[in-house]
Amino acid sequence: MGKNETITVTSPLLPSLDEFIPYLQQIWDSKWITNNGQFHKQLEAALAEYLGVEFVSLFTNGTLPLITALQALGIKGEVITTPYSFVATTHALWWNGIKPVFVDIDPNTCNLNPDKIEAAITEKTTAIMPVHCYGVPCDTERIQTIADKHGLKIIYDAAHAFGVRVNGESILNAGDMATLSFHATKVFNTVEGGALVCHDAETKKQIDFLKNFGFAGETSVVAPGINSKMDEIRAAYGLLNLQQVDKAIEARKKVAEYYRAALRPVKGVRVFDDMPGVRHNYSYFPILINAEEYGMTRDELYFKMREQNVLGRRYFYPLISTFDTYKNLESSTPANLPVATRIADEVICLPMYYGLTEEDLERVVGCIVK
Ligand SMILES: *Cc1c(COP(=O)(O)O)cnc(C)c1O
């Protein structure tokens, strides 16, 4: 990228157009363009294999699998979740008539703090919906122990956690279900898209009914399902993109290492390290700005970067709990969410994608190092 060209926070990984055209030709020839076609089936199988999970259902985006997971598990009442996420996590509860109960996050992972979960459980609580924020694994063992003790289900919003493994095991196998987003901004994209991972064939069958209006056969509708089927064009695109995702994750890792080395010595800037035993995907690169030590607030730095055409993003600011729909819930008070509130005020996610050049990285770091 040239001297003053804009560096965006992300840029989509695209398959080669030359390689895509023969797939399109096949789709045109067959005239089978959606409804569980051959590329849809192939991508489900390829993802199950790549991710190390048994059952994958493709969706048309990453929000509908969240909504559908809640439907499939019959979740009602109250669900414990994190305010420090993309707003879709909480919206999925709202669309199911469920009351979100926000619990604070752990300052070292930015994920739901297991120490705070039990105090938020009431007789109406039916599930926990944590997010593997930035692809950093939640403490899945402790969350499972709490869920088992209180008879709760767990749905992980794993939109950031494509390909993340802990001691060789896919993070997507934790909990009752996990959801993925394949939006253009994510590590692996199908333009728009997503998936729901479950752990048994019967549940997958149910999910597949739900994403197709509830149809279980030509004349049989078993539930009030929705339409969230992925089409053949995006499934084929996904098959091609899957072939290069490891290369992209490797490149992202190098970017993370560059940023860490350059920014760790800067007073008032906090970077996050890899966790032992974790295969990270480097989906985001958050830094925290301690205004007092750094001598500038997060927003001052953010706008200074923008002036230099370096577009960081304040993920996740504002907290979901501050939006109009949710701000009047008892659990939305900043006093209940001190860590999330502080981190939302300190965070900037730096540009992170496959294709950033050494020169780009120097420009990003140059905005921050004084
Ligand atoms: C991107 C994202 C979603 C929603 O995915 P879409 O594919 O954009 O619908 C849900 N949760 C989190 C945490 C996300 O980052």
With a Cβ cut-off of 6 Å, ligand 1 is lined by 61-63, 85-86, 88-89, 131, 157, 159-160, 181, 183, 194
Closest residue by Cα to atom 13, ligand 1, is 86
Q: What is the whole-number distance in angstroms between the Cα of residue 179 and the centre of ligand 1?
A: 9
Closest residue by Cα to atom 6, ligand 1, is 62
For residue 165, is pLDDT > 80? yes
pLDDT the model gives residue 318: 98
Predicted confidence (pLDDT) per residue in 194-211, tens digit? 999 999 999 999 999 999
Question: In degrees, to the nearest 5, what angle opens at C-alpha 90 toward C-alphas 85 and 91?
Answer: 120
185 in Cβ contact with 159 (< 8 Å): no
pLDDT the model gives residue 365: 98
Number of the ligand 1 atom closest to the C-alpha atom of 131: 13
Predicted confidence (pLDDT) per residue in 133-150, tens digit? 999 999 999 999 999 999
pLDDT the model gives residue 370: 81
Number of the ligand 1 atom closest to the C-alpha atom of 133: 13
Number of the ligand 1 atom closest to the C-alpha atom of 61: 7
Q: What is the whole-number distance in angstroms between the Cα of residue 49 and the centre of ligand 1?
A: 22
Predicted confidence (pLDDT) per residue in 5-26, tens digit? 999 999 999 999 999 999 999 9
pLDDT the model gives residue 2: 58
Q: Which residues contact 342 (CB under 8 A, 6 or more apart)?
A: 107
Taken as a whole, the chain contains a residue count of 370
Q: What is the whole-number distance in angstroms between the Cα of residue 138 and the centre of ligand 1?
A: 17
Closest residue by Cα to atom 7, ligand 1, is 62
Q: What is the arithmetic mean of pLDDT over 95-115?
A: 98
Grade residue 303 by pLDDT with cuts at 50, 70 and 90: very high
Cα 107 to chain centroid distance, Å, stands at: 18
Q: What is the arithmetic mean of pLDDT over 278-288?
A: 98
pTM of the complete model: 0.97
3-state helix/strand/coil string of the chain? CCCCCCECCCCCCCCCHHHHHHHHHHHHHHCCCCCCCHHHHHHHHHHHHHHCCCEEEEECCCCHHHHHHHHHCCCCCEEEECCCCCCHHHHHHHHCCCEEEECCECCCCCCECHHHHHHHCCCCEEEEECECHHHCCCCHHHHHHHHHHHCCEEEEECCCCCCCEECCEEHHHCCCEEEEECCCCCCCCCCCCEEEEECCHHHHHHHHHHCECCEEECCEECCCCCECCCCHHHHHHHHHHHCCHHHHHHHHHHHHHHHHHHHCCCCCEEECCCCCCEECCCCCEEEEECHHHHCCCHHHHHHHHHHCCECCECCCCCCHHHCCCCCCCHHHCHHHCHHHHHHHHHEEEECCCCCCCHHHHHHHHHHHCC
Radius of gyration of the chain (CA): 21
Q: Pick from 105, 159, 108: which is nearest to 132 by CA?
A: 159
pLDDT the model gives residue 82: 98
pLDDT the model gives residue 4: 80
Pocket test for ligand 1, best of 61, 81, 86, 129 (most atoms within 8 A of CB): 86
Q: What is the arithmetic mean of pLDDT over 164-189?
A: 98
Number of the ligand 1 atom closest to the C-alpha atom of 183: 7
Cα 297 to chain centroid distance, Å, stands at: 27
Q: What is the arithmetic mean of pLDDT over 53-63?
A: 98
Predicted confidence (pLDDT) per residue in 251-260, tens digit? 999 999 999 9
pLDDT the model gives residue 214: 96
For residue 1, is pLDDT > 90? no
For residue 45, is pLDDT > 80? yes
Q: In the predicted model, what is the mean pLDDT of the chain? A: 97
